[in-house]
Every structure is written in structure tokens, then in C-alpha cells.
Amino acid sequence: MGEPPSLVYGRGLLIRVPAMTLLSVNLNAVAQLRNRRDLPWPSVTGIARVVLDAGASGITVHPRPDERHIRRTDVFELVALLRVEYPEAEFNIEGYPSEDFLELIEEANPHQVTLVPDDPAQATSDHGWDFVGKGNFLTSVVQRLKRPDRRISLFCDPDAGETGIAAAKATGADRVELFTGPYGACHDDPEAAERQLAILSVTCKAALAAGLGVNAGHDLTLENLPAFQAAVPGVAEVSIGHGITADALLMGFAEAVRAYNNVLD
């Protein structure tokens, strides 16, 4: 994590980018499996220990109002776990900035907050923010949540463009998280995947040139990460849940984390 950054060109400028993309493991799928029964397993905190011991840099959760996967109690159990046993690990909480969510963030105090424009009924995140249309709203939320020890990231459509990125920067956010779902959906169409990578690359370069850090997430896998890494340099962190959980069913969580880190390094 202490390796020096490298340089890439973006809009005619040399941009400093991280030397390695860090892995944050999203535990929503683990919690959803647990919630199929009124039983305490699989343990969300137990799996958090496994993935952090195996080399993950952090944990991501996306608590929703109906608690269909991550529960409020999970959030505070993870807070306690990370503070006591893994003080160097990062805790990232995603969610729509409702008043309940904002109060949860203020109480839990995670290292990173990723704001998403989800409707509460959505099965999963499927689009980024309208940075121009929601600029005033996002600015007020960012101002409320931002602290010297807390990073704010905004979920970003792959084709946000320079205008959208400029509006995201104006909110005061620290990073954007590239929505990679459209790229992940091209798993059986290499030509479409190439087109999506080109779009993501343009947006990533625009964000870096604007002084924003870049995260990425949604439907990234061991199979599509190498091409993503090659085409979209400069991503600081990926948040992966569904793909790594699916791989963990075959190889175990610890080995899955090591496999993803090998690709990201």
C-alpha cells in the first residue's frame, strides 16, 4: 500500500495514479445468504476476518432500509471488529443519502462513504448520479458527511463525461466510483466489452484530471478484471461482492481474495 504512484496521460496532463488497485470485499451476499434462515451463519464478521486475513484492504457493505441483507447490527459489529482487530483496514458504507442513512454514517463513522442514487426497492445499484441535476443536493450531503478522516465517493455512470465529472468535483467529493455493470454484462460479447472499456477509460481519465480519485465496482470478476486493469489505469480501489462470493463457493473466501489480489497487483 505504500508503493509510489505511477503517471498516466489524461487530457494532455500527467496524472498521478496509485501503483496498485486495492480490494474491498462487499459482504452483502454473505448477509443475504445468512438471512435465508433465522440463524447466525454464515457470520458476516467471521467472513470479514477471513478476507482481511487473506489480504483484502477493506470491507464494503450496502445496508438497505428493509435489511434484506446487511442489517444495522452488522454495521456496528463490523465497526467494532475493524477498530479492535484490523485498525489498518478500511470500512466503506454505501447507500442512498436518506436521513436514516446519514444518521447511520454519523454514528458508525466509516472511513469511506459511497453515495448511490438507489431507490429503496432496487435489487442492486444500476446507475450513477445525475451530477448536474442533483449537484445542489449532493453538495449539501457531502458537506454534511465530509471529515478529514472520512472520504466521500459518488457512484458514477461509465459515460458521465467531462461535464458530469466537473459537476461531481464541484460537490466537494473526494472520489467517484465507476459503475462497471454494463461492462460486466458483456461477459459473452468481447466486442461490446471493448466498447465499454473505452467508455470507462475516458471517464476515469477525466476524473483523475479533475483531481478526483477513482473507485470501481459492479460485476467485476476474475475473468474480466485483467482487461479492465489494462484499459482503465488509475483506479484506486475496487469493491467486489457477487463475483468474489461466487468464486468463494468453489475455492473458499481466503483463496478467492488471494486470486483477486493477484490480478489487481
Rounded Cα distance between 214 and 212, Å, is 6
Rounded Cα distance between 54 and 44, Å, is 15
List CB contacts of 59: < 8 A, sequence separation 6 or more: 24, 25, 26, 27, 48, 51, 52, 78, 82, 89, 90, 91, 92
- CA 249: distance to chain centroid? 22
Residue 127 bears catalytic tag: no
> Contact 22/237 with Cβ under 8 angstroms?
yes
Helix axes 44-53, 72-85, angle to 10 degrees: 40
Residue of 69, 90, 177, 218 marked catalytic: 218
Residue of 62, 90, 177, 237 marked catalytic: 62
Residue 218 bears catalytic tag: yes
> Contact 236/197 with Cβ under 8 angstroms?
no
> Contact 156/117 with Cβ under 8 angstroms?
no
> Contact 55/262 with Cβ under 8 angstroms?
no
Residue of 90, 94, 177, 237 marked catalytic: 94
Residue 242 bears catalytic tag: no
Residues that are catalytic: 62, 94, 218
